[in-house]
Amino acid sequence: MERQFLKVIIITSFIISGCQQIPEDNSSIELPVNDNQNIKQIYLEKEDKLLSYYSDIWDYIMMESSYVSENIDEETLFYMNAHLQDIEKFKEYLNDSYYFLFFVVEELEKANLPLEFAFLPYIESNYDPFSISSSGAVGMWQFMPRTGRFYELEKSWWNEDRHDPFKSTIAAVEYLDYLYKRFDKDIYHTLAAYNAGPSLLDRKIKKNQRKKLEIDFWSLDELPAQTKNYIPKFIA
């Protein structure tokens, strides 16, 4: 029942949100000069193709997804309701990804990673390439300096690759690929490791293993508060 409820909420929220908006500049659509009778029809057909390309991104992610949420706790419902209480704000929130979401999805597909990882920049920075956190994390994917250097994101007086949405996405997908494989393709462990670091998560998993306890994300104790909130935000 909970899983059905989640599906209804997600589908409803995306339908209401109106998905991605389309630029009004149609200058790139070429129309025949001498065939006035078919101009309108050709224009409408090409415009429909553009509209379907941009409006189908959420349907595409959902159809290609194998992810199923099994936990809808009070905190997850809190974040879901926060999105649904102000639909216009939620639309703006989604549309902030307009320039980069398609590239992110494409890179995830190249790496054979779950397309749901495209939601991470919403949690990290609301898809803002110029975001800077108080802890020193920078860019759309909120790379810390050390991790950024490891994935060859240059930082100097003149350049900061962590602000580059394309270079940082390529680096983030590479990092996610490493984490996803390291944690046996467990999507929640991967997300938690992205937020808290793989070494910390490893320690928590091994601690539960020594105690013969479950090692799923929800069974791990003493995780940082931010990491505990991270998964409910992702599910929402």
The H or E element spanning position 84 is helix 74-85
d(CA 190, CA 198): 8
- Using an 8 Å Cβ cutoff, are 174 and 151 in contact? yes
Rounded to 10 degrees, what is the CA torsion of 43, 53, 140, 200?
180
> Do 167 and 153 form a contact (C-beta atoms < 8 A)?
yes
Q: Are 165 and 140 in contact (CB under 8 A)?
A: yes
> Of the listed 92, 124, 160, 174, which one is catalytic?
124
Identify whether 124 is a catalytic site residue: yes
Residue tagged 């250097």 (tokens):
149
Active site residues: 124
